[in-house]
Amino acid sequence: MISRIWHGFTTKNNADTYENLLKTEIFVGIKDRHIKGYKGIQLLRRELPGETEFITVMWFDSLDSVKDFAGNEYEKAVVPEKAQKVLSRFDKMSQHYSVIVDNFKI
């Protein structure tokens, strides 16, 4: 399994707008693409002095599945223009990790 991690930052005033955009449009659009091997996405939010940080963690079966999502230059961040308008800064590249242990239980 592969974990794709990406960071974006907004102003405090744009944080709720960006979160809503992710949950109602962007994440739905990703799901609706029916990418083979795409397992889901997590959204993390952290308030910092003067800005809000968001982290997305996407889960894929393989790097081939990541490439189906992001293209052959799969390390490049996939940030829709609508999202770029409310972000103050963001990672231009995503990080990819092989998941060694997956033992999450509530």
**Looking at residue 105, what is its pLDDT?**
63
Enter the pTM of the model.
0.91
In the block, tokens 């955009």 appear at 21
- What's the pLDDT tens digit per position in 71-104? 999 999 999 999 999 999 999 999 999 999 887 7
DSSP-derived pairing of the beta strands 89-90 and 51-60: unpaired
**Looking at residue 45, what is its pLDDT?**
98
3-state SS class at 31 = helix
3-state SS class at 21 = helix
Architecture category of domain 2-98 in CATH: 2-Layer Sandwich (3.30)
- Rounded to 10 degrees, the C-alpha dihedral 25/69/54/75 comes to -150
- What's the pLDDT tens digit per position in 33-77? 999 999 999 999 999 999 999 999 999 999 999 999 999 999 999
Domain boundaries, given as residue ranges, for the chain: 2-98
**Looking at residue 11, what is its pLDDT?**
97
